[in-house]
Amino acid sequence: MKKIMLTFFLFIPFLLVAQNKITMKSGSSFVAKIDGLYGSSLVFYNDIPGSNADYVDINDVVKIEGKVPDYLVKGIKKKNHDVLIVRGEFSFDNTNNNDEALNKTPYSYVFTSGDYLQRAGRRSYIGLGVSMGGAVITGFGLAQYQESLVYVGSGVSLIGLIISLTGPAQLIKAGKALNEEAITITPSSEGLGLTINF
């Protein structure tokens, strides 16, 4: 059991060090982890390399690469809709600031109802699997008369329950997205037309 817990704690740092590559209007770029968007300032956890500041004005940013949470993407797009946000891996090479790299097609952040439904299904299955794993650990702890394993298994089951309970939130988002996709307003010969998609 100690090996399992040690393995779990060894992977936590890899989850916490996601970096972002920020490209500025001046053509320069740097790698730093985004802390958040405060007003029109994009704030980082540490100082920007080569600068004493830990923030930049969002209006001076051209592109952000790397993992960016959905809530932050929405905030950034509200402040500067011209920013390209490219999720996924990026190159640490700062010399690759040519037009081809800047005009690379970013991933779409308009989630459809199908995307939300898939998320709900994945979260339900993952939560169920984690809860079942916790139940097995709890059962093993009860069989071996080890109270610590019972607590660990119960905690893992609770985490699985929480993951499962986030699934219905995605179903609500799917419903909202489906409603937005169902009705469109289009120009017609007599003014505006309302199109209802079935």
Please, is 154 exposed, middle or buried when counting C-beta atoms within 10 Å of its C-beta (0-12, 13-18, 19+)?
middle
Average pLDDT over every residue of 176-197 = 64
User: pLDDT tens digit string along 159-170?
Assistant: 999 999 988 888
User: pLDDT tens digit string along 104-138?
Assistant: 444 444 567 777 888 888 899 999 999 999 999 99
Higher pLDDT, 19 or 192: 19
Q: pLDDT at position 185, please?
A: 59
**Could you report how far apart the first and last alpha carbons of the chain are, in Å?**
53
> What DSSP string describes 150-170?
HHHHHHHHHHHHHHHHTHHHH
Least confident of 97-106, 117-126, 136-145, 168-177: 97-106
Cα 165 versus chain centre, distance: 18
User: pLDDT tens digit string along 27-81?
Assistant: 888 888 888 888 888 888 888 877 888 889 988 899 888 887 777 888 888 888 8
Contact 22, 64 (CB under 8 A): yes
Average pLDDT over every residue of 77-96 = 68
